[in-house]
Structure 1
Amino acid sequence: MVSKRLMLTWAFFDTCLLAAGLVTLVLSFVWRQPNLLLNLTFGSFDLTGGTVLGIIFLATFVSSLLLVAMRGRWPLVMLNWLLLVNGISILIAGTYIWFYTLHERNNYHNVFGMQSNATKIAVQDTLMCCGYFDATDEVAFGGTFCPNAAAAMAANSFCVTPITKFADMMLNDVFTTIYGFMAIVIGLFLANMCVIKRRQEEKRFERIDAKRGGHGFV
């Protein structure tokens, strides 16, 4: 019989996986809402990746409840394969974001350059900057802070620093959190291995008991 303490440990990590899936999925939708700096930091591809990762976590949680309810070890072996997929997904997502942070200034130069003039003006007014690397780089004239070239030159404030400062904070928080989810997956994997081992022992004792005529060891 699998001990209650072991099953509580298994349930704890499984619940943490549920929480990770909900947090990832909710943030992927919430961050799609109109928000100037968040929309600049996270593109549609990033948020779609977060949605997929959240769905993987939630699908694994639902599968785990079905598999643990089945007798034998093979359903739990299948769960470990699902957890392996979770771990690989975490590594891919976390490493993709981490690698993006290594070249933030150039990466967000491209992002800023792809924005419409209206968005650039809104960013410049919000961050009180003109242009990206300098007052002539990807600048959009208009608004209150950069109405014309003369104002842009006089401001001597460029968008690269405030944009990458905000993006760096957000991206570091995101990839650190995603990597942190690996602890949940590993914890559930190890707890699941212990449950598999206990079920193997139960099966072995049942076979021994059957050979003894079903009278047990006493």
Structure 2
Amino acid sequence: MARDNILLTYVLVDLLFVVTGGLLLIFALTTQSEVTQTPTANNVARNLLLNMCPLSAAIGNAVVVFITFLISVPAMVMPMTRGWLKFHGYMTVVCALFTMIIGLDIWFDTLKTRKNLSDIWNIQPATTQSLLQQTLNCCGYANSTSPPFVVDSTCPNALVAAAQVGCVTPFSKYANNFLDVVFTGAFGIVGVDVALILATAMLLKDRKEKERYRFIDEKSGQGAF
């Protein structure tokens, strides 16, 4: 019964593993679709940040996850095989490293948020900068004059704009909170990968013991019964 539980645990964690691959793929494809939409006050800040995420790498990661899951199928249906199980374990390590690199890349971006946001701000057209001003209730980037603010309903003139904060502070706060959620999700997926690696190691040990006992039985002549 205990050994059946080991296999059941492996199967359940493996199913959770492939679900994380599906979530990665859905997130990446949905994000790619959203960032191409016409910016509005409701989505402009979020989409600019999502566009910073390594979406192509996330899609590639999801594909590797699906391939790794397919490798696990022979390991599940062939109760004595260890070769497929070892191969699956190695591929799971690759998936974990892949996802961790993506998460670390996003985390490193949060360490240089102001520089990244400055670069993003400077390449945006005036219409997008205006949407950011309206969304974040600010004028200009560092302040109303550096660079100059865009005239809109939030910043109708220089006097009103001078009384508002620059967009760098609220934009940085929003970006850090948003990206924290994204890279925390990536590290959560790594946690699932680690759980699958441990489950694979347990199943490998179990099958190795079974093989040893079977070999002993064969040597003692009991294998014929």
Same fold (TM over 0.5): yes
Q: Secondary structure at the match of 2:54?
A: helix
* Partner of residue 143 from structure 1, selected from 145, 148, 152: 152
Residue number in structure 2 paired with 1:12: 12
For 1:60 and 1:17, how far apart are their aligned partners in 2? Answer: 9
Q: Is the 8 A contact 1:141 1:149 kept in 2?
A: no
Describe the shift of the 1:138–1:40 C-alpha distance in structure 2 as closer, same or farther (beyond 3 A).
Answer: farther
Deviations 1:96-141 (A, max 9, x none): 1111111212211111112122211111122221111111224452
Deviations 1:49-70 (A, max 9, x none): 3222333323322322233334
Q: Is the 8 A contact 1:67 1:75 kept in 2?
A: yes
Residue number in structure 1 paired with 2:106: 97
TM-score (norm 1): 0.87
Residue number in structure 2 paired with 1:152: 161
- Count of aligned residue pairs for this structure pair: 216
Aligned amino acid, residue 175 of structure 1: F
Please give the residue correspondences for 1:1-218 in structure 2 after superposition, counting only pairs within 5 Å.
3-32=3-32, 33=34, 34=37, 35-43=43-51, 46-70=54-78, 71-153=80-162, 155-215=163-223
For 2:128 and 2:166, how far apart are their aligned partners in 1? Answer: 16
For 2:164 and 2:153, how far apart are their aligned partners in 1? Answer: 15
Q: In the TM superposition, what is the alpha-carbon distance from 1:168 to its structure 2 partner?
A: 0.8
Q: In the TM superposition, what is the alpha-carbon distance from 1:48 to its structure 2 partner?
A: 2.2
Q: In the TM superposition, what is the alpha-carbon distance from 1:16 to its structure 2 partner?
A: 1.7
Q: In the TM superposition, what is the alpha-carbon distance from 1:144 to its structure 2 partner?
A: 1.7
Identity level (%): 30
For 1:137 and 1:51, how far apart are their aligned partners in 2? Answer: 38
Describe the shift of the 1:173–1:147 C-alpha distance in structure 2 as closer, same or farther (beyond 3 A).
Answer: same
TM superposition outliers: structure 1 runs of 4+ over 6 Å: none
TM-score (norm 2): 0.85
Q: In the TM superposition, what is the alpha-carbon distance from 1:216 to its structure 2 partner?
A: 7.0
Q: In the TM superposition, what is the alpha-carbon distance from 1:151 to its structure 2 partner?
A: 4.2
Deviations 1:126-171 (A, max 9, x none): 2221111111224452332234545433x42211122112111111
Aligned-pair Cα RMSD in Å = 2.3
For 2:51 and 2:223, how far apart are their aligned partners in 1? Answer: 66
